[in-house]
Amino acid sequence: MAKPTKQLTWLPWIAGIAFFMQTLDATIINTAIPSLAKSLHESPLTMQLTIISYTLTVAILIPISGWLADKFGTRVIFGWAVGLFTLGSLACGLSNTLTQLVLARILQGVGGAMMVPVARLALLRSFPRNEFVHALNLATMPGLIGPVVGPVLGGVLVTYASWHWIFLINIPVGIIGLWMTKRYMPNFTSTTSKFDGWGFILFSSSLITLLCGIELLTKSETVLIPIITLLMGFTLLVTYIYYASKKQNVLIPLSLFKTRTFSVGIGGNIFSRLGTGAIPFLIPLMLQVGMGASALYAGLMMVPLAFGALLGKSYVERTLKRLGYRKTLFWVTIVIGIITAAFALISGQLSLWLALPLLFALGIVRATQFTAMNTITLADLDDKHASAGNSMLAVTQLLSISFGLAICACVLHFFSTYYAGNDMSHFHQTFIAMGLLTVISALSFLSLKRSDGNNLIYKQ
């Protein structure tokens, strides 16, 4: 059924607002962590909860977004998503305690979980396949601006206004998004199967419990409570696996993992990001807490990472054609680990200049790794599993960030206790530990065959 021309014209821009709000929010908060901690009378080492609470909420709720959009319509769910994200942003800006801020970030996450997937679904159903890629590229362009603008804007707002504005800035953008959604977003619906409620409860509770167990390692006076919590999380996860093996139409079908490249891609996403997912959080924290730099200075230092990522995207295809997926992912992951460990060399104003080329190079290789991992993960899935596989990939990416942050905070807390009184040593040792973890994770990509991904590289 033909869509009105105005809808087709404005729909990519509506989706672009969702991409921009999400990527801006994901990067703008990193430079504000020390100011947030000071204002809320908390240690900067505990402030990763403001990021984890958001990413974990989004990861858990992504599988629901498609089902809700099919049942109630893309315009209805997208409107609610933008509204909840905007309301959560207001609540964040008005928070006076860490608990209030975490709860507000969870509300933001409920909206964020539905914004981008539902926008992508609306584009998919509005445009024919030969126009979909162009429309999606147009929609994701504002999202590419977020990582460049976010750290700098966060630094400016924290330095010259207050940390509250890193959240309040979302409100006018959200209001424009709501107006455009009501006017131009089509309301597609589709036949829906029964939602897997028990699967959702088991899967989400296992992830929350595992994350709580890691967090408790930094707070509990005894290791017994964290170990019991981690065992409960693993038990819930095993229970979900058993449940999913006995039931059809589950939240995450286990049949997905019968595709070898999918299993390797998901495993690689999880393990490789555990070491690097916390870099955008750890570097501004080291610059401000360890070296006394301003929030604006820390934000400007993160710009090379974003520009490196933009450059890296343009070289991914030729790199894969030259080396193939197996070699590319193995060696790029090792390089990422070495660069991560090299940040331990930064200790003063002179060596600070070393951070600029390191961040730029890290942006290039991370973009190469992310693109290669994402494409090989979905490469061999059939049409039956494509949608579920895409959702699982999105969930995995966000979960790995949450778990990476939690592990990084745990390691940083351990070294800060061991090196009490030294402003930089605990950061240096944390970078070395995260780099080593990333190098070890490269082994997961050796399970790929040399021919894996050739259908993607040589499709002409």
* Token code pair at residue 237: 């996860």
**Any idea what DSSP says for residue 288?**
I
The two domains 1-192 and 255-460 share their CATH topology (first three levels equal): yes
Kindly list the domain boundaries of the chain, sorted by start residue: 1-192, 197-250, 255-460
Confidence of residue 79 (pLDDT cuts 50, 70, 90): very high
Length of the chain: 460
Residues above pLDDT 90, as percent of the chain: 22
Superfamily of domain 1-192: MFS general substrate transporter like domains (1.20.1250.20)
| Most confident region among 96-105, 249-258, 342-351 by mean pLDDT | 96-105
pLDDT of residue 96: 92
Mean pLDDT of 369-389: 78
What is the per-residue pLDDT for 123?
A: 79
* CA 174 to each of CA 18, 81, 108, 229: distance values in angstroms, whole numbers, following the listed order: 9, 10, 12, 38
Q: Are 70 and 49 in contact (CB under 8 A)?
A: no
Q: Is the confidence at residue 163, as pLDDT, over 50? A: yes
Reported confidence tier of residue 387, pLDDT bands at 50, 70, 90:
low
Tally of CB atoms within 10 A around 387: 12
pTM of the model: 0.83
What's the pLDDT at 201?
Answer: 92
Cβ-contact 48, 102 below 8 angstroms: no
Residues 57-62: what's their mean pLDDT? 87
Q: Are 184 and 332 in contact (CB under 8 A)?
A: no
What pLDDT, on the 0 to 100 scale, is given for residue 186?
84
- For domain 255-460, the CATH superfamily is MFS general substrate transporter like domains (1.20.1250.20)
pLDDT at 198 over 50: yes
pLDDT band at 168 (very low <50, low <70, confident <90, very high): very high
Q: Which pLDDT band, with edges at 50, 70 and 90, does 238 fall under?
A: very high
State yes or no: pLDDT of 1 exceeds 60.
no
CA distance linking residue 5 with residue 172, whole number of Å: 26
Nearest-10 Cα torsion for 93, 98, 99, 104: 30
Among positive and negative, which fits the CA dihedral 146, 149, 151, 154? negative
Strands (E), 187-346: none
